[in-house]
Amino acid sequence: MKTHYRPGVKYADFAKDFTAIDFDPNAFAGIVKDSGARYVVLTTKHHEGYTLWPNKQSWSWNAGDVGPARDLVAELRDAILKVGGVHWGTYFSLFEWFNPIYLADKASGGATTTYVDQVSYPQLIDLISNYKPDVIWSDGDWEMSYNYWKSPEFLAWLYNESPVKDTVVTNDRWGKGSTCLHGGYLTCQDHYLPNQLPTRKWEDSDTIDKRG
């Protein structure tokens, strides 16, 4: 960093250099299909808050507004649906490392829910309403309770009113204390390898980096 970038460069400064110029969703979907995978889950937003679809809550910090100027979520969804035989899923981080609204809520111990009300909850509704995933992979929940995240309210909407209410499957990361207990299937912690076969559907979420 010190060799190649000016002093004071920020993480957000790199967004304009993310062009996704080599991303071919149809080729990607074809590889997934040929691999024999039955489902694929795209990281639509990780903990830094940048979203791969345009939305009001991440204004100027999403793939539509800065960087590729594309809706990468829609492109991959369409490609996956076109190849057929593969379920389409979306990963979504509830929290954001650097969002000052979230950090203020965290400092209050969850007494305020401004971040959930203004950012994460409406983003989830937008994501499900517009992209209709078969799988929702929630993450970033561990610092706050499921009540802070308003997970019961969201899941009630998801399974009773949403456009995917009859087909969607969720994992178990919906708030501190709920992981490995509640959900359509269990992911528990990363690298989850139970000593005996669980009685519920489960997933081994492995990282591929050396430090994971």
pLDDT tens digits, one per residue of 111-131? 999 999 999 999 999 999 999
How confident is the model over 132-138, as a mean pLDDT?
A: 98
Q: Is pLDDT above 70 for 161?
A: yes
Q: Which pair of tokens denotes residue 103? A: 């950090």
* pTM reported for the whole predicted model: 0.94
Tell me what pLDDT residue 212 has: 60
pLDDT in tens, 171-209: 999 999 899 998 999 999 888 889 999 999 999 988 887
Pairing state of beta strands 87-93 and 169-170? unpaired
Q: Which helix (H) or strand (E) holds 45?
A: strand 39-45
Task: Give percent of the chain with pLDDT exceeding 90.
Answer: 86
pLDDT in tens, 64-89: 999 999 999 999 999 999 999 999 99
Q: Which pair of tokens denotes residue 82? A: 């076109």
- The CA-CA-CA angle for residues 139, 141, 147, to 5°, reads 135
Q: Which pair of tokens denotes residue 112? A: 């305020």
**Ranges of each domain in the chain:** 11-170
Tell me what pLDDT residue 55 has: 97
CB 58 within 8 A of CB 103: no
How confident is the model over 159-168, as a mean pLDDT?
A: 98
How confident is the model over 130-141, as a mean pLDDT?
A: 98
The superfamily (CATH) of domain 11-170 is Glycosidases (3.20.20.80)
